[in-house]
Structure 1
């Protein structure tokens, strides 16, 4: 069952330099209990896509058209009051850098309790109980002592666990994780990824996992969409994408990773500049003849779609 459906979403930024089409006709769905990976280079539109879903766009960003259907309700059209009530309760977010998300002048207790009281309308004592329970759920030691600390007294990994606890405190149906491990070292990164996978099962939460790192996405996602220039160029279950990447950009993105399972050197790496050359080899003309009328997609295999557009 699709918990979230995004249909032909367009989000533009009207700047002095012209209109930037950050999200240009993006469509995808998130199934209940599954993780959707959104992968692409910096500037591909993946984060703006996610922020469009919950309408948290920086000025002058604006949703121009499209649908964001959450359990059948179009979030593009609901009132701001309704949207505020859904953020946290139904759809929650973890950002890349927890130190910029947590207020440095308030203790963890105040910040966790504030979020819980805002969305659940409970007393301070009840909010504290929920906060302690969530800190325990994210496997932080001695929650009673930790809750009295300030963000700067915690390590980066601990701060990110606090953010995960805050995001899941209201038991949302969808968790948006925007590059949640990029600012962490690789060992802590692995712990956080495992924690998120465990919590997904414990809380029966769907995840939208945003990353530029296909290696990380391969560990987290059930399904994946590949973005470039504000467009989705390929979408598939994660295994099918790695076994049979079709679009030139997807193939180049995958081949840009260093292979550690073979005896090679750095010259093995492809750079994304080769993308234009790959486009020249790809027979888009035949693909366009196969597509359905008025659609820019063809289905390669079950649930595996590729754009017939070059970019």
Structure 2
């Protein structure tokens, strides 16, 4: 494993919980969800069947349509260890189910919440981490965000980097069909993107686990149990006093950020010639959403490193970048906000 991948893995676990605290800082109060007589949950394993979109992400010998079903099965089994909960799945085999039909099914069983289970991949294979997508509208945003806060906390405990709780708008409202249809049918729904199957850091996490899909399924089920304040006589677990983040129903559409970070300044870069370590001071900020990654280039932006976690507790960070050749003459930095919009610094000379 390369030094830059090791560097990412070593710091993303440390910054993940900081991100959660910062991301929810505007919601300073908490509520306790009292468990209903019976909670109805619908788990939606993403994709399924044949055809490009039905396969989901395909990379490194991993098929999204297969692993979403594995995670859902593990989540269902664990959830059914709790009292007063009924769990359904939108598919149990490798078959095509339309987005609207998935939601119609959830509506037909009077689901209290629908959880669409997914994994990620990016065009340039340069992104990593976990995120939850929620509706941008009224109570669906409120309920989605409250659950998502519990979900990202569980994923962070597993050592996954947290990309955030996010909305996205399209021409007809919510961009993602499962969330848009759910709102139309008055069903609470979120999309859980567990990690990227095409990035070395997330792949390293997957391969480090005895059964990563069981770990993720239990994490999802635990977040659901906490959100609904469930108890398990079988497991001797009681989440009835769990405090959910209290999100107020928004009075406006919670639109996604469409602008790149406003500040990305490389203040200095000094190399230790004996080790090739470069101490670089970077200032980065975005008025709407957090900075989540930076990456670097030694050739003016022609070639870039893998993304590295950004310390969200600071606007200016001093980072250590290793140049194995010990010969780099210049450094350029690029920072990403939560919506993967990028801003590039000026290129500066490296002092030696």
Does TM-score exceed 0.5, indicating one fold? no
TM-score scaled to structure 2, two decimals?
0.26
TM-score of the pair, normalised by structure 1:
0.28
Q: Which has the higher helix share?
A: 1
